[in-house]
Structure 1
Amino acid sequence: MIIGTAGHIDHGKTSLVQALTGVDTDRLKEEKARGITIDLGFAYLPLDDELILGFVDVPGHERFVHTMVAGASGIDLALLVVAADDGVMPQTLEHLAIVDLLGVRRGVIALTKADLATPERIDAVRAQIREAIRGTVLEGADILPVSAATGLGVDALRERLATEALKLGERADDGRFRLAVDRVFTLPGIGVVVTGTVLSGVVHVKDQVMLSPTGLAARVRSLHAQNRPVERGRAGDRCALNLAGEGITKEAIHRGDMVVDPFLHGPTDRIDARVHLLPGESKPMGQWFPARLHHGSVEVGARIVLLEGESVQPGHAADVQLVLSRPIAAATLDRFVLRDVSAQRTIGGGHFLDLRAPARQRRTEGRQAVRAALGMVDAQTALGALLDAPPFVWDVLSFARDRALSDASLAHIVASLSPELFDLGTQRIAMSRPRWQGFVAGLLDYLQTFHTANPDLQGVSREKLRLATQTRLPAAAFTKALQHADLDGPVVRDGAFVRLASHSLQWIPEREALWQSVAPLLGGEERFRPPRVRDVADALARPEKGIRQLMGFAARLGLVDEVAHDHFFLRTTMHEMVLIAADIAAQAPDGRFTAAQFRDRLDNGRKVAIQILEFFDRQGVTLNRGTLRRLQAGYLDLFGASPSIVPSHGRESSPVGRPDFKSG
């Protein structure tokens, strides 16, 4: 169990820790000279082979409250120290407010210097303390008179702390690893060492970790927990990690950094949060209010954007957006403290909600529902509520990262909720089953209505259809959704268009006869360099306008594609050229190819080859980066020929979910 001291300067916090453990936590030369604690101090009290009490001794001086906040983060029990001769003082109240804002739920109060006070004075100070802790997390906590000088009450306090440790038991360690760095130093022959409290998860020797927000990768060479060499550290432990890796130096790591499981690295500088303004504040908190934010061991400048109302009154709470001066590493539901920009007082605090908060449309009902869902403590309940709130889809990998969930925890939650999942590699988009059923029905209804109103059009463009759906999926997830078994049969994708499988366009006899004359001119040996509309009209002695109208109708049927103005290629040829581009890319070491390589394979001239590639760029088949292009695998099936009309030289287009293209 990790115990954090709290209390006014010179009330005997360090002396009490020394009396309990035998360790003087004032380690700095200046601390010895001035007789006050300036930085965090640490001591350990072994109770048996399994149970060790760790003490974090914090400064009491008002100038070092920011250091106190760093020490108070991650503790299991607050040891509030009040001197019997002074009673409750300003930093007593501020430290108490910080403990309350950080949500430390267990505490004991030590009434120090009891040997210097009369019984009547002790009773008076006890009454002061009871009044100060009323309404806080420490209300009802025991007050134990002690004296570090004479030993009065020290054994009783030690026994009480041991009892609290046994009640606490072990923290759950099924999350992913996070440690808030509060000290960085080097040891001869060992290297860089960071210390802090493990906020969640487990770390082992030889684990790969990451420093966040800097993104430096490191390896754990060795570690200590509770001042003992161990093979693993777990949630609640005070750990020292010996880190190694490229760029890992004492100067590269700072108090406030987090050592995390690499999956958790996702710094943020814009966070939606729930904030509580302390009752003692003289003024309300207004829009764009400046403050200093303390989270874990980091301190950073922040501006407050109100998400409800015009101000936050003292003693009240509200949803806000925190716009930070630089990114930090954090997790959903982490607690934070706000102090004024002059660092003279604590003004409030709260907990984080959305680490990926938007900069616009922050006050909508949908955003309110999302924040309410993210504020739920139970992860499964929270994800279920997110899927019932606009936009009705959520990336479960982002959800797991921001809550530091393990793979096993996420798998259990997903299995329990059983949503529809669209795996995009770096994202896994989820939609509830009822919402998915409504999505399918709405999409089919929209297509049917569109075909009724536009019987002469091939279908709806994929992007237009995506934007028309009531539950709007990200573009990549929408492509996956069209491949779902529920849509594979009823829906067909023709090139960049989507239509119902039952929809077809009909030739009139005269137009079909003309097409039978035109089609051979676009195929055969000349298929990679077909004649333009004017050339076809000249060859058939037909009006140019009539040929152009015919080619437009054939394009709606999915038989041809207009690569450039009046330059049409058969759909089967387009598909063949995609396969050729894929083959060129497959033979390239980095999967990239030039226009010249494509031209040489088609033997159709540089200008036409570039027109074809630019057409592929517009359709998303290729990505152009200067003189090099690469293929996008998700778009390689765009140019299967339409099954609505199957000419003798054509082929059936791919229904959604059955791509024509198979790479070598």
Structure 2
Amino acid sequence: MKNVIIGTAGHVDHGKTQLIKALSGIDTDRLSEEKKRGITIELGFAHIDNDAGYNIGVIDVPGHEKFIKNMLAGIGGVDFVLFVVAADEGIMPQTKEHFEILQALGIDDGIIAITKKDMVDEEWLEMLVEDVKEYFKGSFLEGKPMIAVSSKTGENIDVLKAEILKKCDRESKRREEPELFRLPIDRVFSMQGFGTVVTGTLVDGVLKLNDDLNIYPEELPVKVRGIQTYGNDTDEAVAGQRTAVNLSGVKKENVLRGSVLAASGAVTVTNMLDVEMSIFNSSDRQILNNSRVHLYTGSKEVLAKVIIMDRDVMVSGDKTFVQLRLEEPIAVRRGDKFIIRFYSPVITVGGGRVLDSNPEKHKRNRDDVLADFEILAAGDIGDIIHLKSGKWKYYKEEELRQELGLTTSEIKQAIKSLADQGRVVILADGSIVNEDKLKILEDTVSKIIEEYHSQNPMVDGIPKRELLSRIKEYRHIEDDKLGQAIISKFLDSGMLEDKEKTISVAGFKVEFSDEQLALMDDIKKMYYKAGVETIKNEDIYELAGNKDIASAIQNELVSRGEIFKLDASYYIDTKAWDIATATVRELGTEKPEGFTLADYRDKLEISRKYASILLSALDKYGITVFNGECRKAIK
């Protein structure tokens, strides 16, 4: 069954509520004050029964200028508008305001209903119809059906209903994937025996009984206990339906109009928005840079500061890029439409669309910033991911999915396509960086290591922990895993070389002076002379007079195959190590059941101390295995 939401619009007292009652039989004015004053104050809801197989929901919005904010809470999620103009009054101030709001919200279809036909003669009606046609010329309502009706007598109500049914036969633009589910809350109440109930227009996704959801921006976890659409209990609601949801896990007083009921990750909670914003052609107000305004999106109202990116003031007809800095968090998605009202007096002046729901702060009047805005406005998802993956933040797949309002499969496909083109790289921790950011990281890491080599010429590389620490400091990174992923990327690429405890630029070797080469020869002879009776590092350091030089010489002798590293404290002449391993194998043959430390000591004719050092190294390198009492040769 197709689901369609219609919103009304038009000046106060032009007969919107009476028209809905004539179409649906439902009086949407439910408040006693509305009955008393004869005007709509709050949003009203109805549904139009039909035999064509459509679920048609109707949102009745207030027409009075004092209640425009209530109108804005309901009009954003409609499929098309029923624009009401009274035959006895014609185009009036809120007619114009509502119309500009609809255009700013991107509503692109509708029907014009000329109400109170019974109150004017045919000549007047003909003149008024021409005036209305002229007013809507060049807009989305030009050429749309215009029907004169009387809610009082019922004249042409059936004709209007037939046109509504024709409009319902249009392709839905709503997304129905469950992971995109969201419902801006426009009403909250509690029912005895049920608890908290919220209502709203289900703008995207699917809702099912027992779903685990969240209320944003408060980030309150809730569970779906019950669902109603158009007054009927159901197990499931889908995009395009007016929906009431009974929630467990939250109290009524903790939920406000303007919050959003959504699947985890379906919206972004933010205090800042990058937007494309325009000022209505009819507005006589200017928006200065740093002005405070009222922002309306979904069913939410919040105060915001306007940071204009390329000028100091916006006037009637202007359209440009703006950063909105909000005074409290909201839950939005890229592409959402919004309305701006002047701070004081509170009148509607413009609107626009969200380009980035989680931007960084920008400096004004910069070509590079404006170029980024152009990419965001163009809307190519690949280009936007490429742009965001080059910024200060290190994005992962789920964060990009959330900010761009995509499904998991869509974001995976987009990232894979960019990776295949070489435009982004996925680091080991899942972070996505573009080629420009990768080059910046490469330059940073190279600089860190080359500086270390310059300051420590006798050390074969920078200690791993120190490299990690410096990368985090230079690039303002807090996460160890991200820092390690950056190092791993450049090790894998061959730019860096892993030297067990240190990392160097690939191919780096310590350069020795003639004096140091002579010292190296002396040290090599010391190890050769000691044989299996190993030398402690401190003795080598003492001979060299410098620990760094001695360590560099040891590393060089290891790389040449002259000595072998037993552990952090001992090295051994390579030929002596061969003797040590050969002796183990001999003992393994002689004593297959296992041999003791004493057996090994006696076989080599060395002290228990040296035998213990050698056997520990043999265990470490998997040549022997120790069961607590004796050893066996396994290699």
Q: Structure 2-normalised TM-score?
A: 0.76
Deviation (angstroms), 1:481: 4.1
For 1:362 and 1:493, the matched residues in 2 are separated by 44
Q: 1:135 to 1:285 in 2, by over 3 A?
A: farther
For 1:395 and 1:320, the matched residues in 2 are separated by 26
Q: 1:8 to 1:446 in 2, by over 3 A?
A: same
Aligned counterpart in structure 1 of residue 119 of structure 2, from 90, 110, 116: 116
Deviation (angstroms), 1:99: 0.6
- Secondary structure of the residue aligned to 1:329 is strand
Q: 1:541 to 1:17 in 2, by over 3 A?
A: closer
Aligned counterpart in structure 2 of residue 151 of structure 1, from 151, 154, 157: 154
Q: 1:571 to 1:55 in 2, by over 3 A?
A: farther
Aligned counterpart in structure 1 of residue 245 of structure 2, from 241, 265, 275: 241
Q: 1:573 to 1:307 in 2, by over 3 A?
A: farther
Q: 1:138 to 1:490 in 2, by over 3 A?
A: same
- Secondary structure of the residue aligned to 1:9 is coil
Q: 1:393 to 1:215 in 2, by over 3 A?
A: closer
- Secondary structure of the residue aligned to 1:138 is coil
Cα root mean square deviation, aligned: 4.1
| Amino acid paired to 2:8 | T
Contact 1:256 1:296 in 2 (8 A): yes
Contact 2:267 2:333 in 1 (8 A): no
Query: Do structure 1's residue 83 and structure 2's residue 86 form an aligned pair?
Result: yes
Q: Deviations over 1:4-44 (max 9, x none)?
A: 00111110000000000000001111111111111000001
Residue in 2 aligned with 1:416?
417
- Secondary structure of the residue aligned to 2:210 is coil
For 2:238 and 2:542, the matched residues in 1 are separated by 84
Aligned counterpart in structure 2 of residue 184 of structure 1, from 188, 192, 200: 188
Query: Do structure 1's residue 54 and structure 2's residue 57 form an aligned pair?
Result: yes
Residue in 2 aligned with 1:645?
none
Q: Kindly report which structure 2 residues correspond to 1:390-539, keeping only aligned pairs within 5 A, or say none.
A: 394-418=395-419, 420-422=424-426, 428-431=430-433, 456=458, 458-459=460-461, 461=467, 476-477=481-482, 479-484=484-489, 487=492, 489=494, 491-494=496-499, 498-506=503-511, 508-512=516-520
Q: 1:40 to 1:436 in 2, by over 3 A?
A: closer
Query: Do structure 1's residue 373 and structure 2's residue 355 form an aligned pair?
Result: no
Q: 1:334 to 1:553 in 2, by over 3 A?
A: same
Q: Which residues of structure 2 form unaligned runs of 5+?
A: 528-534, 559-564, 570-616, 622-635
Deviation (angstroms), 1:558: 13
Q: 1:20 to 1:377 in 2, by over 3 A?
A: farther
Contact 1:181 1:255 in 2 (8 A): yes
Residue in 2 aligned with 1:3?
6
- Secondary structure of the residue aligned to 2:287 is coil
Contact 2:55 2:241 in 1 (8 A): no
Q: 1:403 to 1:229 in 2, by over 3 A?
A: farther
Aligned counterpart in structure 2 of residue 33 of structure 1, from 36, 61, 66: 36
Q: 1:438 to 1:265 in 2, by over 3 A?
A: closer
Aligned counterpart in structure 2 of residue 168 of structure 1, from 161, 171, 185: 171
Aligned counterpart in structure 1 of residue 210 of structure 2, from 203, 206, 211: 206
Q: Deviations over 1:318-368 (max 9, x none)?
A: 111111110000111100000112354101110111222223545544433
Q: Deviations over 1:74-120 (max 9, x none)?
A: 11011110000011111111111111111111111100001111222
Q: Deviations over 1:135-161 (max 9, x none)?
A: 433233222111100111111111111
Q: 1:265 to 1:170 in 2, by over 3 A?
A: closer
Q: Deviations over 1:215-254 (max 9, x none)?
A: 1100111212233322222222211111101xx1111101
Moved more, 476-485 or 292-301: 476-485
Contact 1:17 1:23 in 2 (8 A): yes
Contact 1:370 1:390 in 2 (8 A): no
| Amino acid paired to 2:409 | A
Q: Kindly report which structure 2 residues correspond to 1:332-371, keeping only aligned pairs within 5 A, or say none.
A: 332-342=334-344, 344-361=346-363, 363-371=365-373
Q: 1:540 to 1:303 in 2, by over 3 A?
A: closer
Deviation (angstroms), 1:45: 1.4
Q: Deviations over 1:510-537 (max 9, x none)?
A: 4446878999xxxxxxx9xx99xxxx69
Q: Deviations over 1:611-637 (max 9, x none)?
A: xxxxxxxxxxxxxxxxxxxxxxxxxxx
Residue in 2 aligned with 1:284?
286
Residue in 2 aligned with 1:330?
332
Question: How many residue pairs end up in the alignment?
Answer: 548
Aligned counterpart in structure 1 of residue 300 of structure 2, from 298, 312, 324: 298
Residue in 2 aligned with 1:584?
none
Q: Deviations over 1:481-515 (max 9, x none)?
A: 44249825552245786423422225533444687
Aligned counterpart in structure 2 of residue 223 of structure 1, from 213, 220, 227: 227
- Secondary structure of the residue aligned to 1:302 is strand
Residue in 1 aligned with 2:578?
none
Contact 1:210 1:265 in 2 (8 A): no
| Amino acid paired to 2:193 | G
Give aligned-pair identity as a percent.
28
Contact 1:208 1:218 in 2 (8 A): yes
Q: 1:120 to 1:550 in 2, by over 3 A?
A: same
Residue in 1 aligned with 2:577?
none
Deviation (angstroms), 1:456: 4.9
For 2:323 and 2:30, the matched residues in 1 are separated by 39
Q: 1:54 to 1:378 in 2, by over 3 A?
A: farther
| Amino acid paired to 1:338 | I
For 2:34 and 2:285, the matched residues in 1 are separated by 36
Aligned counterpart in structure 1 of residue 19 of structure 2, from 16, 19, 33: 16
Q: 1:302 to 1:391 in 2, by over 3 A?
A: closer
- Secondary structure of the residue aligned to 2:139 is coil
Contact 2:294 2:343 in 1 (8 A): yes
For 1:392 and 1:210, the matched residues in 2 are separated by 25
- Larger Rg over CA atoms: 2
Deviation (angstroms), 1:262: 1.6
- Secondary structure of the residue aligned to 1:189 is coil
- Secondary structure of the residue aligned to 2:41 is coil
For 2:253 and 2:442, the matched residues in 1 are separated by 58
For 1:140 and 1:554, the matched residues in 2 are separated by 88
